[in-house]
């Protein structure tokens, strides 16, 4: 009897979920009794009230039902922010990408670049990382690289943007993460006695991330790898660079 009740409960849950899916109203059918202006204004009010789910529904409906409406462009802009605040970073980045493509001359397009970069950054972080500051250098950094490129675009294309200073700070932070990641790989190779690969990856840090904190340990790792490889000329060149820039550093 107990197993029958458990099966019935599971069946009821499945039926409930299917029912919820079938009764969900598509954006093309939502708010049919309202004008485009009403849908927009109520969506904007929902956004101001931090009711992001309702705002998203309304702006999506407006976008589908009135794709060429006067207020639709602004609704598409607000959608980026609403998705971002809902922590749906994939949709936020996608909405930003679409907005940039459709409205490159919009006076607020710099904010679309900014939110796209932030959304790509947060896609690389789970809840635990956001709470406890996990070391991102040990993770796959595809989204971090995309985020860095988007912040770079914002800085380059919009020198007078209000978001440029923040974007520049993110670039420094993300650049250090990328440098640390390259150093992590170099250290991995060195630990496994793949000295050529270790030296090459460490030299990438020095070549592409000048000024990053990872440069000093990368130079030291290069020197150790060259010593293991008996590449005396490269070893002496690297030691000279270390001595010129870090005179108190002794490479053991």
Closest Cα to residue 113, out of 127, 130, 96? 96
State mean pLDDT over 73-91: 96
Residue 13 maps to a domain:
no
Task: Calculate mean pLDDT across residues 168-172.
Answer: 95
154 lies in the same domain as 186? no
168 within some domain? no
Residue 12 has pLDDT above 70, yes or no: no
- Position 51 pLDDT exceeds 70: yes
Regarding whether 42 and 156 lie in a shared domain, the answer is: yes
pLDDT over 60 (residue 6): no
Residues 45 and 156 in one domain: yes
- The answer to whether residue 22 sits within a structural domain is no
Co-location of 185 and 137 in the same domain: no
Q: Is there a domain that residue 195 lies in?
A: yes
Q: What is the DSSP string of 52-94?
A: HHHHHHHHHHHHHH-TT-TTHHHHHHHHHHHHHHTT-HHHHHH
Domain span including residue 77: 36-162
106-156 pLDDT, tens digit per residue, is 999 999 999 999 999 888 764 435 444 445 555 678 888 999 999 999 999
Q: Residue 100's pLDDT is what?
A: 97
Residues 145 and 247 in one domain: no
Looking at the structure of the chain, the number of domains it has is 2
pLDDT attached to residue 30: 73
* pTM: predicted TM-score of the whole model, two decimal places: 0.78
């Amino acid at each position: 009897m107990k197993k029958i009740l458990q099966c019935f409960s599971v069946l009821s849950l499945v039926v409930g979920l299917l029912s919820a899916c079938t009764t969900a109203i598509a954006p093309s059918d939502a708010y049919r009794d309202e004008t485009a202006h009403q849908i927009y204004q109520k969506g904007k009010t929902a956004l101001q009230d931090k009711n992001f789910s309702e705002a998203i529904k309304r702006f999506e409906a407006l976008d589908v039902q009135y794709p060429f409406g006067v207020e639709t462009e602004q609704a598409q802009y607000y959608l980026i922010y609403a998705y971002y605040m809902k922590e749906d970073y994939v949709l936020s980045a996608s909405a930003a990408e679409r907005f940039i493509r459709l409205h490159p001359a919009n006076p607020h397009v710099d904010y679309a670049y900014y939110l796209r970069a932030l959304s790509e950054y947060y896609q690389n972080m789970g809840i635990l990382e956001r709470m406890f500051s996990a070391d991102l250098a040990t993770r796959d950094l595809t989204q971090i690289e995309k985020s860095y490129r988007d912040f770079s675009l914002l800085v380059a294309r919009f020198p007078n943007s209000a978001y440029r200073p923040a974007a520049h700070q993110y670039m420094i932070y993300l650049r250090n993460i990328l440098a640390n990641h390259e150093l992590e790989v170099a250290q991995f190779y060195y630990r496994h006695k793949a000295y050529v690969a270790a030296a090459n990856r460490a030299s990438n840090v020095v070549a592409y991330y000048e000024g990053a904190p990872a440069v000093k340990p990368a130079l030291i790792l290069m020197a150790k790898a060259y010593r293991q490889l008996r590449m005396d000329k490269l070893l002496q060149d690297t030691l000279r660079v270390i001595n010129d820039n870090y005179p108190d550093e002794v490479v053991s």
